[in-house]
Amino acid sequence: MSIFDNADDLIQNSEANLVIITSPNNVHYSLAKQSLEKGLHVIIEKLMAMKSSKVKELAQRVQTDVFELKELKAVTTNTV
């Protein structure tokens, strides 16, 4: 197992092929963009980005690189 000091090192130097981004919302875009540029599969919790223009940019990149953009819906139940 590899240990990385920060997300940038992990994205650039890991042998992973999937990144799940659950960090604070303000860094979702930068981590997603960097991961997509590296050719990684990306799952992002909502919000994808803080600005709609950045969401559109990620969506365009996904379409250009023949990735698939899907929305995952969270389901919760109130069981006792």
Q: How many domains does the chain have?
A: 1
Confidence of residue 75 (pLDDT cuts 50, 70, 90): low
78 domain residue, yes or no: no
When comparing pLDDT for 79 and 54, which is higher? 54
- Other Cβ atoms closer than 10 A to 36: 19
Alpha helices by DSSP H, the chain: 7-13, 28-37, 52-64
76 domain residue, yes or no: no
1 domain residue, yes or no: no
How confident is the model over 27-55, as pLDDT tens digits? 999 999 999 999 898 888 888 889 999 98
45 domain residue, yes or no: yes
End-to-end CA distance of the chain: 39
State the amino acid at position 48 in one-letter form. M
51 domain residue, yes or no: yes
**Adjacent-strand bridge partners of 21:** 44
Query: Where residue 51 sits, what CATH number does that domain have?
Result: 3.40.50.720
How confident is the model over 3-33, as pLDDT tens digits? 999 999 999 998 989 999 999 999 999 999 9
Q: What is the pLDDT of residue 60?
A: 86
Q: What is the pLDDT of residue 48?
A: 84
CB–CB of 29/49 below 8 Å? yes
User: Which range marks the domain in which residue 51 is found?
Assistant: 7-64
- Helices 28-37, 52-64: axis angle to 10 degrees equals 10
Q: Report the alpha-carbon distance of residue 74 to residue 17 in Å, rounded.
A: 23
